[in-house]
A and B are shown apart, each in its own frame.
Chain A
Amino acid sequence: MFREIKRALKMHRIFIVQELKRFMEYKGDFITGAIGLLLAQLCSIIFISVIFSQIPTLVGWSFNEVMFIYGFSLIPKAIDHLFFDNLWAVGHFIVRKGDFDKYLTRPINPLFHVMAEKFQVDAFGELVMGIILLSCSLPSLDIEYSFMKILLTVVVVIFASFIYTGIKIGTSAIAFWTKRSGNIIFMFYMVNDFVKYPIDIYNNVVRSVLTYIIPFAFTSYFPALYFITGENPLFNIGMTIVVSIVVMTIGVLIWNRGIKAYESAGS
């Protein structure tokens, strides 16, 4: 077990190095992507600023708090995007074109192989924006810091990014049955738009969906809430970890069933 994890980490590092070499060949392209993602977030921030130019608080949330949640939501998203973006390709064409064959003839876990193979430098656009928002909003927030709190937040960000990854694994695996599932991944993935804002602006139905069904609320709102208020770590942090593990498990279970249904392509 320990040896396998060590080997997986080593392999992942090698894949990333390969991708960085690729990046050096197409520098301009990646920068275009990263700037695009950065600007996309910037537009939303202008949107929020325009709103707050007219109102002091949004249902009780200050501008800086909203910015903090927004910035926080980008970080787990960016981490998943950075490391595990290739799952989109599984849903779009890897399965349909039969390219998945390659992963099955290699002596490493196919899920790990396909996930780790791409390193999506574009994601730095989101990551940088998230960090900028956090660092701009933090000084104006009245937050009590402690070592424990910072540690918990860092840990929870990793688990939160697995919520994204788990959802992508599960939805991309649908392609094993239907040949393509890019559309389904997209639909689930876009739900994350909701959690850039505090979820108490939504009605009960939306809130329940974000908490219990497509639990993106645990990638931003709940952990951010803990960090701002220090309240209820058991739910805000504990549940995030539990939800992350559950989502990941469901995703992998769907994936494992899917692989058995894989029919390759061609004659």
Chain B
Amino acid sequence: MGKKLRIYLPFVNAGLQEVSTYRANWIFYILGDIMACFVSFFVWEAVFISTGGETFMGFARSDMVVYIFMSFLTGQIIGSGGTYDIGEEVKDGSIAMRMIKPISYNSTFLFQEIGNKIMEIGIIFVPLVAGVEIYRFAVTGSLKFDILRFLLYLVCCVFAYAINFCFNICFGFTAFIFKNLWGSNMLKNTIVGFLSGSIIPIAFLPGVLKDILTYLPFSSLSYTPVMVYMGMYSGWEMLFFIGLQIFWAIIFWCLSKVIWKCVIKRLSIQGG
């Protein structure tokens, strides 16, 4: 196992260097993305001013801030560029080259991305979590940070990343159908963003919709980790939702294997 993993180390390293080379570039993109968080922040501030109350559908004002920024952060941590990169390779046909390499395509991709993640998390994770907790401390007057919940959150993130990674690989192969990568990717991100609760907390949605979204795989992506972080779930609930995450992770892992097999078949029949 150790030896097997070692051949992937160069990919982790490449991922690390990728981010450090384009560091300035990447920070600008994060700043652009984080604008949307601040918009939500101010909208919710206005909502709480308008209601005059301390809670909105069970969320306190400080909860809302934690929710917005932690959803964003979780989205970044579990984000996976598989769709786009695989799509590009499908489009220009270089995907065929992957078949002649002696190592698993998905794994090389995974390890390169882990390299990226280490760098990205190093840059944004600590300041954002610290910022959120300091805000929460300033507003509520007590330290809400719980190390056990935080560790569980990280575990949830790992499962969420696994789901997202496999899902994106599956979606990446739709480039055989959709040629407009920018368009289909945005379409996917919008739908996933909504279904995963990163725009509106799923708890705020009306009855049936709420129930459906709770059990769909998308809530496992960012909603479950964030709710765990915020301590919104009781012990049994937590166990149930993490179980659900594992269930979906397995499903999508199998699905990505099946699709990869189909792709190989298709490539060997039609050529790159």
Residues on A lying within 8 angstroms of B by beta carbon are: 26, 28-30, 32-37, 39-40, 43-44, 46-47, 50-51, 54-59, 122, 180, 182-184, 186-187, 189-191, 193-194, 196-197, 201-203, 206
Contacts and interface: CB of A to CB of B under 8 A. Distances in A.
A37 B185 CA distance: 11
Contact of B180 (A30, A43, A190): A30
Contacts of B42: 194, 197, 201-203, 206
Nearest to A59: B46
A43 B194 contact: yes
B25 A183 contact: yes
15 contacts: A29-B184, A32-B183, A32-B187, A33-B180, A34-B183, A36-B187, A39-B187, A39-B194, A43-B193, A54-B47, A54-B57, A59-B49, A184-B28, A189-B32, A194-B38
* Chain A residues touching B, majority SS: helix
Nearest to B35: A190
B178 A55 contact: no
A266 B51 CA distance: 61
Interface in B196-227: 199-200, 204-205
Contacts of A40: 186, 190
Contact of A33 (B26, B33, B36, B183): B183
Given A33-B186, A197-B43, A201-B43, A26 B180 contact: yes
A201 B194 contact: no
Interface residues of B, number: 38
B182 interface: yes
Given A33-B180, A193-B35, A202-B42, A46 B190 contact: no
A173 to B, nearest CB: 16
B39 A193 contact: yes
A184 B25 CA distance: 8
B178 to A, nearest CB: 6
* Chain B residues touching A, majority SS: helix
A50 B201 CA distance: 10
Contacts of A196: 39
Nearest to B186: A36
Interface in B4-60: 24-26, 28-29, 31-33, 35-36, 38-39, 42-43, 45-47, 49-51, 56-57
A189 B182 CA distance: 17
B205 to A, nearest CB: 7
A52 B138 CA distance: 28
B87 to A, nearest CB: 12
B39 A194 contact: yes
A194 B32 CA distance: 12
Contacts of A194: 35, 38-39, 42
A228 B33 CA distance: 31
Given A46-B200, A51-B47, A58-B47, A29 B32 contact: no
Nearest to A44: B199
A18 to B, nearest CB: 18
Nearest to B33: A190
B191 interface: yes
A55 B200 contact: no
A71 to B, nearest CB: 16
B265 interface: no
A258 B136 CA distance: 46
A228 B193 CA distance: 32
Given A59-B49, A183-B28, A51 B186 contact: no
Contact of A37 (B38, B186, B204): B186
A4 to B, nearest CB: 34
B179 interface: yes
Contacts of B183: 29-30, 32-34, 36, 122
Contacts of A203: 42
Contacts of B26: 183
A50 B206 CA distance: 9
A189 to B, nearest CB: 7
B178 A50 contact: no
A26 to B, nearest CB: 6
A50 B28 contact: no
Nearest to B40: A47
A201 B35 contact: no
Nearest to B51: A55
Contacts of A43: 190, 193-194, 199
A55 B38 CA distance: 21
B200 A50 contact: yes
Given A35-B187, A58-B46, A59-B49, A47 B180 contact: no
Contact of B190 (A36, A50, A57, A180): A36
A28 B178 contact: yes
9 shortest interchain CB distances as A-B pairs: A33-B183, A29-B180, A36-B187, A183-B28, A190-B32, A201-B46, A32-B183, A36-B186, A187-B32
Given A34-B183, A43-B190, 13 more contacts: A29-B180, A33-B180, A33-B186, A36-B186, A39-B191, A39-B194, A186-B28, A187-B29, A190-B33, A190-B36, A194-B38, A201-B43, A202-B42
